Amino acid sequence: MLVLVCLMGVFVATPAQAEDAKPLNIVWLSVEDMSPWIGPYGDNTVPTPNLDKLAAQGVTYDNAFATSPVCAPARSSIITGMFATRIGTMQMRNGNPSSAAVKKNPDAYKDIPGYEGLPPAWVRCFPEHLRAAGYYCTNNSKQDYQFKAPKTVWDESSNKATWKNRQDGQPFFAIFNHTGTHESKGFPKAKRNPPAMKPSALKIPPIYPDTPAVRDAMARTYNNIAAMDKWVGQKIKELEDAGELDNTVIVYWSDHGVGLPRGKRSCFDTGLRVPVIVRYPDGKDAGTRSDRVISFVDLGPSALSLAGIKPDERLDGTPFLGEHATERDDYRNGYAYANADRFDAEREQTRSISDGRYRYTRNYMTDVPYLLPVAYREQIPMTYDLYKLRETGSDDPAHWQFVAKERPAEEFYDSQADPWEYKNLIDAPEHQERIKAMRGKLEAWIKDTGDLGFVLPETKLVKEHIWPKEGKQPTTPAAVETPGRPKGTFGLHCEDPGASISFRISKTGKFSGPWRVYTNGLINLPEGHSIQVQTHRIGHKPTIVVKKLNDK
């Protein structure tokens, strides 16, 4: 447990920080709905000079994968370091019905409850540990964690949040999230970016029919990528202009694959394989590539490791960066796992495993098509060209997944020989040994995580696993004062071991500004001052209390 003595807003360095006068800053540049269709991965359809430069100065990871091909479940794994299927965050979304789905069908959520994910009591959102160690943590600005984040997670989370607001000399962890590549930027009503290439010059992936709507969707995707590259350059220049580039680790990543049909929401490389580029300030491993298989559950532990904090070994994630980088010796070593369950109101149940080259997938619902009728996605015009294939058929074998009205129970692909994964090799004699091994790894993952995606209906999940026994959300117990404290100090305790405790101090009784992380130390609270305390276990309702110290 980290211990931090909080003296009216002044951060006191932990012993690890005292030894290193200048801890590394960490900046995440995250983009949405984007496969590795950029220069560092060999796709030069549009110029990406800033990403090319970042890769030349850093490490490009060739085998990085999302834990789910859709944002909210994937982001829940990033922020906690836990698989969504273990903590009940695998459905898209848990508690926020899609307006597009409801507009299409007012009864779409009739049997779908609203709830939050619930990690084990010892799990915290990883920035809380960074803040406890003295880091200034900001998020600009998407959360979407499948639960309400405790106040301990961020110093600031908004579309104006920036590392520039930290105290002098304070190390920082900052996320900047670019929405310009999101699926919705391909909707007809979305503003178009300047053309970076001609639609007629596009090479259409073999899985898609060559239609005007497909070409337009592909062109918009690449135009958005070109615009995103300029944003990357701007964010790096801000660090350089402030003199922070030489002390900052930059991690660039996307939250899942491309926001086109058979990308987003699909357990193929097009939905799960993502770009990850890491630039070290000292030029370490500049211009190199890594074939290590990394997963979204690894990102949070790696941020902690870069800051010199040893991640809890019980986490599903494994740090691949920093002084605590290591490898697993169990089923997770060398493999990335993913789930696909409910997308808005449409349901499937798919589990998938990749070793970077080969992908084994198990479809537990075989009576549904690959392209589910998700109302939100139907705002992309090309979706209807793919629906048409299901009705008319196609002679092109690369289109079979769109033509199919049901799925095979098992699939196996060689993504090196077949990068668009449409040649199902599940019955190939030469692959049976590998298929057997990967099937066993997938089953081990499902067993170890206690995969909550199989607890259906979701009303049963809520009543038996999330909020037993009535299925009603509990409230986190209020903080109580630590007995025996010295005069003029304040200590706090919560009977729920899963509770994060945050506080603010005020002389006037009016509270503002960021909440501070409480980590078992004593707080200096002068006589007449008030303290506002929030206890919040992830998945439960928070509790806020205000107390005033009147020592005589």
User: Which amino acids are annotated catalytic?
Assistant: 71
Q: Whole-angstrom Cα distance, residue 156 to residue 163?
A: 9
Q: Which two tokens stand for residue 261?
A: 């049909």
CB atoms within 10 A of CB 383: 18
For residue 272, which amino acid is it? Answer: L
> Quick one: 34 exposed, middle or buried, by C-beta within 10 A (0-12, 13-18, 19+)?
buried
Question: Any idea what DSSP says for residue 491?
Answer: -
Nearest to 296 by CA among 40, 38, 25, 76: 76
Q: Whole-angstrom Cα distance, residue 52 to residue 229?
A: 9
Angle of the 212-241 helix axis to the 49-56 helix axis, nearest 10: 50
Tokens 């299901």 belong to which residue?
A: 390
Nearest to 2 by CA among 308, 289, 438, 271: 308
Ramachandran assignment for 165, one of left (phi > 0), alpha (psi -120 to 50 degrees), beta (any other): alpha
Q: Which two tokens stand for residue 403?
A: 């033509």
DSSP 393-460: --S-GGGHHHH-SS--SEEEEETTT-TT-----TT-GGGHHHHHHHHHHHHHHHHHHT-GGGS-SHHH
**Are the C-beta atoms of 73 and 92 separated by less than 8 Å?**
yes
Calculate the dihedral angle through the C-alpha atoms of 458, 464, 467, 469, rounding to the nearest 10 degrees.
130
**Are the C-beta atoms of 68 and 255 separated by less than 8 Å?**
no
**Are the C-beta atoms of 394 and 275 separated by less than 8 Å?**
no
Residues 6+ positions from 108 with CB-CB distance below 8 Å: 97, 98, 101, 102, 344, 345
**Are the C-beta atoms of 294 and 433 separated by less than 8 Å?**
no
Q: Whole-angstrom Cα distance, residue 263 to residue 131?
A: 35
Angle at 261 between CA 260 and CA 266, to 5 degrees: 105
Q: Whole-angstrom Cα distance, residue 136 to residue 381?
A: 43
Q: Whole-angstrom Cα distance, residue 217 to residue 221?
A: 6
Tokens 């509790």 belong to which residue?
A: 543
CB atoms within 10 A of CB 285: 15
Q: Please, how many CA atoms are within 13 Å of residue 44, restricted to the half-sphere of its CB?
A: 3
